[in-house]
Amino acid sequence: MGLIVQKFGGTSVGSIERILHVAETVKAEAEKGNQVVVVVSAMGKTTDQLVSMAKKVSPQPNKREMDMLLTTGEQVTIALLSMALIEKGFDAVSFTGWQAGIVTEPVHSNARIAKIKTEAIKEQLQAGKIVIVAGFQGITEDGEITTLGRGGSDTTAVALAAALKADKCDIYTDVTGVFTTDPRYVKNARKLLSVSYDEMLELANLGAGVLHPRAVEFAKNYQVRLEVRSSMEKVRGTIIEGEARMEQNLIVRGVAFEDEITKVTVLGLSNSLTSLSTIFTTLAQNHINVDIIIQNTTESGTANLSFSIRTEDWMETVNVLENNKAELGYEQLDAENKLAKVSIVGSGMISNPGVAAKMFAVLAENNIPVKMVSTSEIKVSAVVEEKNMLKAAELLHEAFELSKESY
């Protein structure tokens, strides 16, 4: 008998019919003799509807109260799925994030899991019950309800799998696995049979929506065996593991892209050694994530600093910088919106020079200007105009022959 954690996203539980279908999938795992913990998201567009209601009440809703509101979405799903399983003759019990012992740092709307108290879940498993846990949510040591931000249910599932020492964590979604790029936009995208933790982490960070980066981090740090698979079809998914065993001869394994990127430029910054650290410390203290960073020195001896952020963080970034302008010592702010980031990822880049050169040659030949660049051992990212994002992704997918089967 093993312990399996299953996670079902919003699309998979988007209607009563789909919840009943999920119940059958859970039932099939339990009938194999396994203990099962199920993590679910809110039904379909429930979270979007709750956000919309909140914004009709307040243009910038209080973050604490938003967490109180948004966590109700998952509670609907856990209760309905538990009822469905009980109706099928299985003992099941639903837990909110706090009932499941998920303790987070004291940050509203984007909290990180600090620890998981597993006693309550283990007690129910030992009693022979299937445990249904609300994803995306937790509680602070002081009793404040929090949410885990984008993709929080993925993080909940993998963190629970790590804490419970599960044999496997299955992430059920509306696609059949991890693809070379987003199959909704690039018709020749192909499913990968396996991907390494490092490659998946880069893909997730760079816009691939199949898994949240924090979930992949947990999986890598605790060696949780993951499989991304379809909740609609009974087909093999994509295994995420320490080192991809399949298709090892691929230099580039995926193309990721994300829109709604803003380039922020801080002009006339003091050229002192502490200027950079002061700016980024200030942004970090306000939980603003910065991505690509470029600095250059002007003839007058000051520095101009550019960095990219999510467009949704633009107003908060402006407020933080303007409120600390005297301490930070810059002259003015500038911004360029309607940008996107397109990236190639593959562990084969480490031992194959010329990959970045090929990428930029492809973009240049097709008149796609590059605004910013970022590289690591296994990825190259380029910031381009949003209107060029899908064209760039398709061109790179074709240039690196990712649609071809490779073993």
Q: Is residue 255 part of a domain?
A: no
CB neighbourhood size of 315 (10 A): 10
pLDDT of residue 122: 98
Q: Is residue 35 part of a domain?
A: yes
pLDDT digits (tens, 9 = 90+) for 80-125: 999 999 999 999 999 999 999 999 999 999 999 999 999 999 999 9
pLDDT of 406 > 70? The answer is no
Average predicted confidence (pLDDT) for the chain: 93
What integer is the mean pLDDT of 146-172?
Answer: 95
Any domain includes 280: no
Determine what percent of the chain is predicted with pLDDT higher than 70.
Answer: 98
Q: What is the pTM of this model?
A: 0.82
Share of the chain above pLDDT 90, in %: 82
In a domain, 85, yes or no: yes
Q: Does residue 329 form part of some domain? A: no
Query: Domain of 67?
Result: 3-174
What's the structural domain count of the chain? 1
Write the CATH number for 145. 3.40.1160.10
Is the residue at 340 inside a domain?
A: no
Find all residues with CB under 8 Å of 78, minimum gap 6, and list them.
Answer: 40, 94, 95, 96, 132, 133, 134
pLDDT at 249 over 70: no
Q: pLDDT confidence of 245, banded at 50, 70, 90?
A: low
| Residue 130 domain-assigned (yes or no) | yes
Three-state DSSP string of the chain: CCEEEEEECCCCCCCHHHHHHHHHHHHHHHHCCCEEEEEECCCCCHHHHHHHHHHHHCCCCCHHHHHHHHHHHHHHHHHHHHHHHHHCCCCEEEECCCCCCEEECCCCCCCCEEEECCHHHHHHHHCCCEEEEECCEEECCCCCEEECCCCHHHHHHHHHHHHCCCCEEEEEECCCCCECCCCCCCCCCCECCEEEHHHHHHHHHCCCCCCCHHHHHHHHHHCCCEEEEECCCCCCCEEEECCCCCCCCCCCCEEEEEEEEEEEEEEEECCCCCHHHHHHHHHHHCCCCCCCEEEEECCCCCEEEEEEEEHHHHHHHHHHHHHCHHHHCCCEEEEEEEEEEEEEECHHHHHCCCHHHHHHHHHHHCCCCCCEEEEECCEEEEEEEHHHHHHHHHHHHHHCCCCCCCC
Confidence of residue 246 (pLDDT cuts 50, 70, 90): low
Phi-psi region of 109 (alpha: psi -120 to 50; beta: other; left: phi over 0): left
Distance CA 232, CA 11 (A): 10
pLDDT tens readout for residues 369-395: 999 999 999 999 999 999 999 999 999
353-362: average pLDDT: 94
Query: Residue 117 domain-assigned?
Result: yes
